[in-house]
Every structure is written in C-alpha cells, then in structure tokens.
C-alpha cells in the first residue's frame, strides 16, 4: 500500500513538474534589453559596429533594413536568412528573391565583436534585428526600441519562401493579404514600403516597365533617366546596373518616397499600385504630408515584423557563427 502511494505521488510530482516546465516555456517572451544581465554591453557593441560599418560602407544600412524584411517575414524571425547552403539544402540568400542582397559577411563581423564580450549568449536573430534598428537610425529614420531574446533557427526556409514574401510585381490584394497574415495592417504596409525611399532598384527588376514599350504611367523626364541607367532590355544580372529609388535623397529614409510615387515616379509596380489603389492611396497622401506620421507607422510596423513568431526559451539555438547551424561546426 505504501509503495503504491509513493508511486502515485511520483506520478503526480512528475505531472506537476511537466506542467510547470511547459508553463515556464510558454511564459518566455521577448523583452526590451533582454541581455541586461547576461551581456549588458551587447546592444552598445552592435550599435557601434553598425556605425563603424556605415562609415566604411554606406550600403550596409540598406542591407540591414532589407534583412529584417526577408528574414522575419518568412515564418519566423530566426536568422534563417543568414544560413549558408549545404549539400542538401539551398540557402535563402541564394534564391532569386534575394537577388541583390549583400553584406552578409559584415553580420559575421558584428557577431564576432559580440562573441568576444559574451561567448554563446547573443543570438544572430537578435543581431539581425538590432542591426536593422541601428541601420534605420543611420539612414535618418526613427529610433525604434525593439525587444530581444530571440533564438536562432537551424534550417533554411528557401523551399517555402515564395509562400510568404510578397513580390514587387504582385497585385495589391496579394501584398495586403501577405502582410495581414503577420499582423501588419494597411497603413503599416504603406509605411514599410517607404523603405524604398533608400537604396536602389536593379535593372533586372525594372526592365519589364521599360521594354518593349515604356509604361505610360512614367513621366517623360523620368523615363529618359531610367533608359540611360538601364539601356538593355535583357540586362546582365551580374552587371551592376541600377536606378536610385529616390534621386533627391537616395541615402535618407524620409517621406519623399510618397511624394515621388504620387508623381508616378515609383520604380516598381508595387510602388505605382500603392499610390493608385483606393485602399492605400489615402495613407500615401498622409505620409507625403507628414514625416512624423510616416515614422510613427513605420516604427509600429517594424516592431510587429520583428516580433513575428520568434523562437524563445529552449527552442532553436544560439549559433556560434551566423552562417552555420551549430551542428555543422
């Protein structure tokens, strides 16, 4: 009888422990300044590295901003974007949808700087998000207090990428639906596409609006410049041929993008649709008039994007190198 009572007690104790562990796992959440005890210098190190890299290579800030979109949109914000290809699995970096993305090697520089201070503590997913945050500031955008505590995924999502990422040639219906699936509403979509205020569009992505006939939506003075920059109807994808997204302030994240697309100077089809679709045009007009409103909605949308289905607690891992899952070391 006594042994039976001990057996029942053991089962109940194990069940209680399992429930507690499960509850504890569920209660693990992203936090502002997650590393304040485990690596208090982490965010300062990342910020200084982003500043240093921006001084040497201005285009790194564009890369950090694009990284958060391409990584966090695809199922989870877990730095799967950064993984290299293996013999069996293609890297997200090497898909057609990642054409023109670069500067991944500098993420490794940031990771190494953080590892010197706190080995095995700070995830590549958090480095990706925080570098985007600080890159936005370098481009003249708002400071956004983003949470940390993400862990790194172990696999590439190249095989499902197309199911998640909206393409620049898709209808506004599809674009809005894809963003809504991760919690970003219409003004948030309009604000996030304001990222096209900086950087450049490769001719490969643009020529379908120039050849065989020029899209009549383009103003004549704008067409001349684009044809000069993209003289071939089938451009060499390895050639560095591009048009600046915003010829006025190409290195600054600002609301000139919205003024340009209202004047039909948006380079991509999605830019043109944004300024003409009845669901998005009111927000385009509002952001064209107010940079404060643009920054407010942009900050809100970036926050939602950065918190999309993160790995926390004991899920995933903390990679030693951002381009390799730990099992491959």
pLDDT in tens, 176-193: 999 999 999 999 999 999
Would the pLDDT of 25 be above 90?
no
Which residues make up each annotated binding site for Ca(2+)?
71, 74, 78, 80, 92, 246, 249, 254
What's this model's pTM, rounded to 2 decimal places? 0.90
User: Could you tell me the pLDDT band of residue 169, with boundaries at 50, 70 and 90?
Assistant: confident
Residues with Cβ within 8 Å of residue 271, at least 6 apart in sequence: 193, 196, 257, 261
- The answer to whether the CB of 192 falls within 8 A of the CB of 205 is no
Whole-angstrom Cα distance, residue 101 to residue 246? 19
> What's the pLDDT tens digit per position in 271-290?
999 999 999 999 999 999 99
- Say what angle helices 291-306 and 281-289 make with each other, to 10 degrees: 120
Would the pLDDT of 261 be above 60?
yes
Other residues' Cβ atoms within 10 Å of the Cβ of residue 303: 15
Tell me if residue 148 falls in helix, strand or coil.
strand
Would the pLDDT of 297 be above 80?
yes
**How confident is the model at residue 21, as a pLDDT?**
43
> What's the pLDDT tens digit per position in 87-118?
999 999 999 888 888 899 999 999 999 999 99
User: Could you tell me the pLDDT band of residue 19, with boundaries at 50, 70 and 90?
Assistant: very low
Which residues make up each annotated binding site for heme b?
196
**How confident is the model at residue 98, as a pLDDT?**
87
- The answer to whether the CB of 67 falls within 8 A of the CB of 50 is no
Q: Could you give the angle at the alpha carbon of 106 between the alpha carbons of 206 and 165, nearest 5°?
A: 40
Which residues make up each annotated binding site for substrate?
166
- The answer to whether the CB of 192 falls within 8 A of the CB of 184 is yes
Mean pLDDT of the chain: 91
Give the containing element (helix H, strand E) for 201: strand 200-202
Would the pLDDT of 328 be above 90?
no
**How confident is the model at residue 7, as a pLDDT?**
47
> What's the pLDDT tens digit per position in 314-325?
999 999 999 999
- What percentage of the chain exceeds 70 in pLDDT? 91
Residues with Cβ within 8 Å of residue 100, at least 6 apart in sequence: 202, 205
**How confident is the model at residue 195, as a pLDDT?**
96
Pick the closest to residue 129 from 306, 315, 319 (CA basis): 306
Owner of token pair 């001719």: 203
Pick the closest to residue 155 from 68, 91, 77, 69 (CA basis): 91
For the chain, percent helix, then strand, then coil, each to nearest 5? 55, 5, 40
The answer to whether 329 is a known catalytic residue is no
Which residue among 70, 168, 202, 222 is the active-site one? Answer: 70
Would the pLDDT of 162 be above 80?
yes
- What percentage of the chain exceeds 90 in pLDDT? 80
- The answer to whether the CB of 154 falls within 8 A of the CB of 327 is yes
């Amino acid at each position: 009888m006594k042994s039976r009572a001990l057996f029942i007690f053991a089962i109940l104790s194990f069940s209680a422990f399992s429930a507690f562990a499960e509850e504890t796992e569920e209660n693990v959440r992203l936090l502002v300044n997650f590393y304040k005890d485990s690596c208090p210098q982490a965010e300062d190190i990342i910020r200084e590295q982003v500043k240093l890299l921006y001084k040497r290579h201005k285009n790194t800030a564009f890369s950090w901003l694009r990284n958060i979109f391409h990584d966090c949109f695809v199922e989870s914000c877990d730095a799967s974007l950064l993984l290299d290809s293996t013999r069996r699995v293609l890297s997200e970096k090497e898909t057609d949808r990642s054409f023109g993305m670069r500067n991944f090697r500098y993420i490794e520089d940031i990771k190494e700087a953080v590892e010197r201070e706190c080995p095995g503590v700070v995830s590549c997913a958090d480095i990706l998000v925080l570098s985007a945050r600080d890159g936005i500031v370098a481009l003249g955008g708002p400071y956004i207090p983003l949470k940390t505590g993400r862990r790194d995924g172990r696999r590439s999502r190249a095989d499902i990428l197309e199911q998640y990422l909206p393409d620049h040639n898709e209808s506004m219906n599809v674009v809005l639906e894809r963003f809504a699936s991760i919690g970003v509403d219409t003004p948030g979509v309009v604000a996030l596409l304001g990222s096209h205020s900086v950087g450049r569009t490769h001719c490969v992505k643009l020529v379908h609006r120039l050849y065989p006939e020029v899209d009549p939506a383009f103003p004549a003075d704008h067409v001349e410049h684009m044809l000069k920059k993209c003289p071939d109807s089938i451009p060499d994808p390895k050639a560095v041929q591009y048009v600046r997204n915003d010829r006025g302030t190409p290195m600054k994240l600002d609301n000139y993008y919205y003024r340009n697309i209202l004047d039909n100077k948006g380079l991509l089809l999605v830019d043109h649709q944004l300024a003409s679709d009845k669901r998005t045009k009111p927000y385009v007009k509002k952001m064209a008039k107010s940079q404060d409103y643009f920054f407010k909605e942009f900050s809100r949308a970036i926050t939602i994007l950065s918190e999309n289905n993160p790995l926390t607690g004991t899920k995933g891992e903390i990679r030693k190198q951002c381009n390799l899952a730990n099992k491959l070391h």
